[in-house]
Amino acid sequence: MDLHSFSNDTDHVVEADRAHVWHHLSQHKPYETIDPRIIVEGRGLRVWDIKGKEHIDGVSGGVWTVNVGYGRERISKAVADQLTKMCFFGGMAGTIPGARFSEMLTDKMPGLDRVYYANSGSEANEKGFKMVRQISHKHHGGKKSKILFRERDYHGTTISALSASGQEERSAQYGPFTPGFVQVPHCLEYRSQDGTVGEEYAAKAAQAIEDVILREGPDTIGSLCLEPITAGGGIIVPPKGYWDRVQELCRKYNILLHIDEVVCGLGRTGTWFGYQQFGVQPDIVTMAKGVASGYAAISCCVTTNAVFEMFKDDTDHLSYFRDISTFGGCTAGPAAAIENMLILQEENLLENSTDMGVHLKENLHGLMDKHRWIGDVRGMGLFAGAELVLDRDTKEPVPEKQVAAIVADCMAQGVIIGATNRSLPGYNNTLLFAPPLIATKDDLNQITDAVDQAITRVLG
Complete DSSP assignment for 118-174: ESSHHHHHHHHHHHHHHHHHHHSTT-S-EEEEETT----SSHHHHHT---HHHHTTS
Evaluate whether 285 touches 109 at the Cβ level (below 8 Å). yes
Q: What is the mean pLDDT of the chain?
A: 96
* Predicted local confidence at residue 4, as pLDDT: 53
pLDDT at 346 over 60: yes
- Return the SS3 of 236: strand
Show the beta-strand stretches assigned E in 27-91: 39-43, 46-49, 54-57
What pLDDT digit, counting tens, does each position of 29-82 carry? 999 999 999 999 999 999 999 999 999 999 999 999 999 999 999 999 999 999
Closest Cα to residue 47, out of 21, 65, 31?
A: 65
**CA separation (Å) from 41 to 46, 71, 98?**
8, 8, 29
- Return the SS3 of 223: strand
* Predicted local confidence at residue 422, as pLDDT: 86
Beta strand pairing call for 430-433 and 374-379: unpaired
pLDDT at 1 over 80: no
Phi, psi of 268 (to 5 degrees): -55, -40
Closest Cα to residue 317, out of 138, 196, 112?
A: 138
* Predicted local confidence at residue 443, as pLDDT: 98
For the residues 352-372, what does the mean pLDDT come to? 98
**CA separation (Å) from 396 to 166, 392, 393?**
21, 8, 8
pLDDT at 6 over 60: no
Alpha-carbon distance of 88 to 447, in angstroms, equals 40
pLDDT at 5 over 70: no
What sign for the dihedral angle of Cα 312, 317, 322, 327?
positive
* Predicted local confidence at residue 372, as pLDDT: 98
pLDDT at 17 over 90: yes
pLDDT at 312 over 90: yes
Alpha-carbon distance of 56 to 68, in angstroms, equals 14
* Predicted local confidence at residue 3, as pLDDT: 44
Paired with 157 in beta bridges are none
For the residues 444-456, what does the mean pLDDT come to? 98
- Return the SS3 of 459: helix
pLDDT confidence tier of residue 320, bands split at 50, 70 and 90: very high
Where b means 16+ CB within 10 Å and e means fewer, 267-296 reads bbbbbbbbbbbbebbbbbbbbbbbbbbbbb
For the residues 313-330, what does the mean pLDDT come to? 94
pLDDT at 242 over 80: yes
* Predicted local confidence at residue 7, as pLDDT: 62
Percent of residues, the chain, with pLDDT higher than 90 = 97
* Predicted local confidence at residue 8, as pLDDT: 74
Closest Cα to residue 225, out of 321, 122, 129, 112?
A: 129
Evaluate whether 452 touches 370 at the Cβ level (below 8 Å). yes
Higher-confidence residue: 421 or 309? 309
Evaluate whether 36 touches 42 at the Cβ level (below 8 Å). no
Say if residue 176 is preceded by a cis peptide, omega within 30 of 0.
yes
Instruction: Show Cβ contacts of residue 390 under 8 Å, excluding neighbours closer than 6 positions.
Output: 373, 396, 397, 398
Residue 394 exposed, middle or buried by CB count within 10 Å (0-12, 13-18, 19+): exposed
pLDDT at 173 over 80: yes
pTM of the model: 0.96
Alpha-carbon distance of 407 to 204, in angstroms, equals 35
Beta strand pairing call for 146-150 and 415-416: unpaired
pLDDT confidence tier of residue 9, bands split at 50, 70 and 90: confident
**CA separation (Å) from 59 to 62, 325, 329, 415, 455?**
5, 28, 29, 10, 18
For the residues 173-193, what does the mean pLDDT come to? 97
pLDDT at 418 over 70: yes
Beta strand pairing call for 221-226 and 146-150: parallel
Where b means 16+ CB within 10 Å and e means fewer, 138-174 reads eeeeeebbbbbbbbbbbbbbbebbbbbbbbebbbeee
What pLDDT digit, counting tens, does each position of 271-305 carry? 999 999 999 999 999 999 999 999 999 999 999 99
